[in-house]
Structure 1
Amino acid sequence: MASSRLLVDDDRFRIIEWTIEPGGAIDQHTHEFDYAVVGIARSTMWAVLPDGTELEVQIVPGEAYAREAGATHRMENRGTASVVFTEVEVKTPRA
């Protein structure tokens, strides 16, 4: 099971706190905007790409990574601890 909490959704940003419980997943989706992920709880999740490729993603509290729009994947928690992170999507860059 995965759950989300919308923190901000305005004309420039969408910020969501995600929790993926052990055995849970965020269904396959395509990122419409550039985005960054900031770790909240130390954990590991798996990105499963449309072609079946799997990538291990380490979530570290206070550390972040950024990706460009267009990424398509399913995110899975195969561990025993909850995966918790904040996702920041940039809808429109500042002019």
Structure 2
Amino acid sequence: MCDASGTATGTVQIENARTRVTEWRFKKRGDNTGWHRHDYDYVVVPLFDGALQIKLPGGEEITAQLQNGVPYFREFGVEHDVLSANDFECAFVEIEFLDKAR
């Protein structure tokens, strides 16, 4: 993930030539990653049942309902800010694919 300056805490757990794995932790409702754009395709694995609010350019907002352990895939390039829509601490693991497909 690029340099985001939100209130959520990102902790890189693995980083090598091919993969970066980051845990994102949101302590309270409204904590956010900060606006950013991914340079690589990625997978998100929620560690909770609940919702995230996704802000997109132009004021568009999406609420994503997530289920613990059920991953989703996104392609690189979309600018966004991710906010917790939950009244409890929550987290997800983000896995970025740093090399091109073979």
TM-score > 0.5, shorter chain as reference:
yes
Identify the residue that residue 63 of structure 2 maps to in structure 1. 56
Identical residues among aligned pairs (%): 27
**TM-score, normalised by the number of residues in structure 2:** 0.86
In 1: Cα distance, 2:47 partner to 2:71 partner: 10
Aligned-residue offset at 1:94:
5.3
Runs of 4+ in structure 1 deviating by more than 4 angstroms, as ranges, are none
Aligned-partner residue type, residue 70 of structure 1: G
In 2: Cα distance, 1:18 partner to 1:60 partner: 16
- 1:87 and 2:60 matched: no
Aligned-residue offset at 1:39:
1.1
**Residues 20-74 of structure 1: CA deviation (Å, up to 9, x unaligned):** 1222111000011000000111121100001111011122111000010102100
- 1:75 and 2:78 matched: no
The answer (yes or no) to whether the contact 1:43–1:81 under 8 Å persists in 2 is: no
Identify the residue that residue 16 of structure 2 maps to in structure 1. 10
**TM-score, normalised by the number of residues in structure 1:** 0.91
Q: How many residues of Structure 1 are paired with residues of Structure 2 in the alignment?
A: 95
CA RMSD across the alignment? 1.3
Segments of structure 1 that go 5 or more residues without pairing to the other structure are none
Segments of structure 2 that go 5 or more residues without pairing to the other structure are 1-6
